[in-house]
Structure formats: C-alpha cells, structure tokens
Amino acid sequence: MDERRERETNPTKNRTAVERKSERELVATRTVNGPARLVFEAWTKAELFRRWWVPKSYGLTLLSCEMDVRVGGRYRLVFSHQASTMEFFGTYREVTPHSRLVWTNEEGDNGETLTTVTFDENAGKTLLVVHDLYPSKEALDAAVASGSTGGMPETLDQLDELLVSLGSSAVTK
Amino acid sequence: MVQYCQTRFDVSFGALADATRRGVLEQLGRADASITALAEKFHMTLTGMKKHVGVLEQAGLVTTEKVGRVRTCKLGLRGLQEEAAWIERYRQLWGARFDELDKVVEELKLKEKVDGRKKRT
C-alpha cells in the first residue's frame, strides 16, 4: 500500500525507459516493486505471463501460450485478431532462475532476434532490463521504418500493421 | 519525448565525432548549401566533403537533393523524428506491459503473505 501511495505521489518512479543502444540493439528498462523471485515467476509461468504480455488496449487475444522454460525449450504464442491468427515462437537459450532469461525470436523473416532479460534485485525491488539484439541493422531499421511497433492503434489497419511489425521486429514473442 | 530525442541524438552524434561534420550541421542550420560551397567553407576537397556529407546523410541528419549539376544539402530531421516517435511507441508498449506485470507481481506478493500466515497458524 505504501508503495502505491509512493508511486502516485512520485510519477517519475518506475518509469519505463527505452533506448536504441546501437544499430542492432534496443533496450527497455523498468523497476518492478517485488523481489526477483516473484518477477521471474511472472516471466516464466505461462499462466502468469499471458496475463501481462499483451496489453489489453491492443485488442489482441492471446489464444494459447506454451512455454517450456529450460535451456533448449521452446515457446509458442498464438494471437487472434478478428479472423486471423498469428504465431510467435522461439527457443530459450539461457535460464538462470531469478536473474537471467535469454530466448530467440524465430518467427521473423530477417533472421533471429535475441532477447535477454536480466532481473536485478535491490531492496525488495527488481530492475528489469529487456535487451533485444536484432540480426542486423537493417532488421531494426525495417522495424522502425514500418512505424508501428506500439502505440494504441485505433483502426484495423493499424492493428494489422502492429501485428506485422510485432512479427518482424519480434517485440512480441 | 525530449529524452528519447536526446537518446537518438546521442546515437546520431556518433556520426559526429568529427569537428567538420558538426560544423557542417551548424552551417546547414543557418541555410541550405551545396557540397561545393561546404567544401570551400571548410577548406576541403570536394571528395572529402562528399564523404562527410555521406556519413551525415546515413545518420539521417542531412538530406541531399541534386538539381541539375548542384547537390544541395539540408538538415534532415525527419528520420530523427520518425525514429523518436517509434521509440516512444515501443516505450508505451513496454510501459503497458510492465503496468500489468506490476499487478501480477503485487498479487504474488499478497498470495505469498497469505500463504505464509496460513503456514504459521
């Protein structure tokens, strides 16, 4: 409860920051109010993961979410939007409980994007760093040029673009 | 937004580890100029200036347009703005995800507390 009050009085707290670190790297950081053990659980248990990975405002439905979280294990997410479905899949490369997750995004046409998530606990809070390494500068530039990775799309066209860009940029697994 | 523009500027300014290129941008901030004029201004060969302009162009900082035999350079902020806007949308996506993640973690914390209490009693 105290944490919530603190967050309200200090809106800059727990701010999400995003930076293009290099030609091929994109990094998102955010602090979550909880120990790494629980945050890690929310990233590695499908029934928890599916509750937060797709923001409600995006109008996508997560039909299925399979996650075999161990080195060499696979994941597969299936989304529906209107009549069409789309899949995102890849392989876990590293699984270090409560501190590090690495997976590939294999659904894109331009090669694999590698996502590394680190969980850094400090005083009961966890700093999350989500690092995407694109296969090439061109792949990341293409995602940027497509212009539709996020935002709150209002029209179906925009939603379709979002799906395409999520696929190509592997922002969504 | 300012922050992300700044970040992108930092990246682009990697293309600007060179005083001449910074000078060229400054110059173009005042007025568009041909490569020939820029070369003269900075006491360089045409080839040398073409290289510098090429680097700036790749970073999206400068655009060039050839009219007749003259290639005119101007500040190219469009690429910067597009990328900054895209990064902002990407940030919003992650912001929305993390907000939902907060709720899940909050719930796990509560559950743990309740479970802990049950165990003690």
Closest CA in chain B for residue A18:
B91
- Residue found under tokens 């973690």: B105
Residue B13: list chain A partners with CB under 8 A: none
State how far the Cα of B91 lies from the Cα of A14, in Å rounded to an integer.
13
> Does the CB of A161 have a partner CB in chain B at under 8 Å?
no
Cβ-nearest to B102 among A33, A130, A151: A33
Helix/strand/coil percent split, chain A, to 5: 30, 40, 35
- Spans of all domains in chain B: 2-77
* B2-77 CATH: 1.10.10.10
Q: What pLDDT, on a 0 to 100 scale, did the predictor assign at position B31?
A: 82
Q: Is the pLDDT of residue A4 over 70?
A: no
Residues B87 and B50: their CA atoms lie apart, in Å, by 30
Q: What ipTM describes this predicted complex?
A: 0.75
pLDDT in tens, A72-94: 999 999 888 767 787 889 999 99
- Closest-CA residue in chain A for B102? A32
> Phi and psi for A19 in degrees, rounded to 5?
-145, 140
Report pLDDT digits (tens) over B32-79.
899 999 999 999 999 999 999 988 888 777 889 888 888 899 887 655
Is the CB of B55 inside 8 Å of chain A's CB atoms? no
pLDDT in tens, B79-89: 566 777 788 88
Residues of chain A found within 8 Å of residue B7, distances taken between Cβ atoms: 19-20
Q: Which helix (H) or strand (E) holds B75?
A: strand B70-75
Residue B113 CA to residue B116 CA, distance in Å, equals 5
Which stretch of DSSP H or E encloses residue A62? strand A61-67
B91-110 residues touching A, CB cutoff 8 A: 91-106, 108-109
Please say whether the beta carbons of A60 and B105 come within 8 A: no
Name the β-bridge partners of A25: A133
Structure tokens at B3: 């922050």
DSSP assignments along A66-83, one per residue: EE--STT-EEEEEEEETT
Chain A residues with beta carbon closer than 8 angstroms to that of B88: 18
Alpha-carbon distance A87 to A79, whole Å? 6
A120 reaches B (C-beta below 8 A): no
- Assess B11–A contact: CB distance below 8 Å, yes or no: yes
Interchain contact, A39 vs B101, CB within 8 Å: yes
| DSSP H or E segment with residue A97 | none
In the beta sheet, which residues pair with residue A64?
A: A78
- Per-residue pLDDT band for A107 (boundaries 50, 70, 90) equals confident
Question: A71: distance to nearest CA of chain B, Å?
Answer: 24
When CB atoms are compared, the residue of B92, B96, B104 closest to A51 is B104
* C-alpha closest to that of A66 among A94, A88, A39, A82: A88
Answer with the residue of higher pLDDT: B16 or B75: B75
- In this predicted structure, the answer to whether residue A11 has a pLDDT above a threshold of 90 is no
The type of residue at B50 is K
SS3 of B81-111: the string is HHHHHHHHHHHHHHHHHHHHHHHHHHHHHHH
Model pLDDT, residue B1: 36
pLDDT surpasses 60 at A67: yes
- Residues of chain B neighbouring A125 (CB-CB closer than 8 A): none
- The answer to whether the CB of B60 falls within 8 A of the CB of B76 is yes
Q: In order of start, what are the domains of chain A with their CATH numbers?
A: 16-162 (3.30.530.20)
Cα(A105)–Cα(A90) distance, integer angstroms: 5
CB–CB of A147 and B82 under 8 A?
Answer: yes
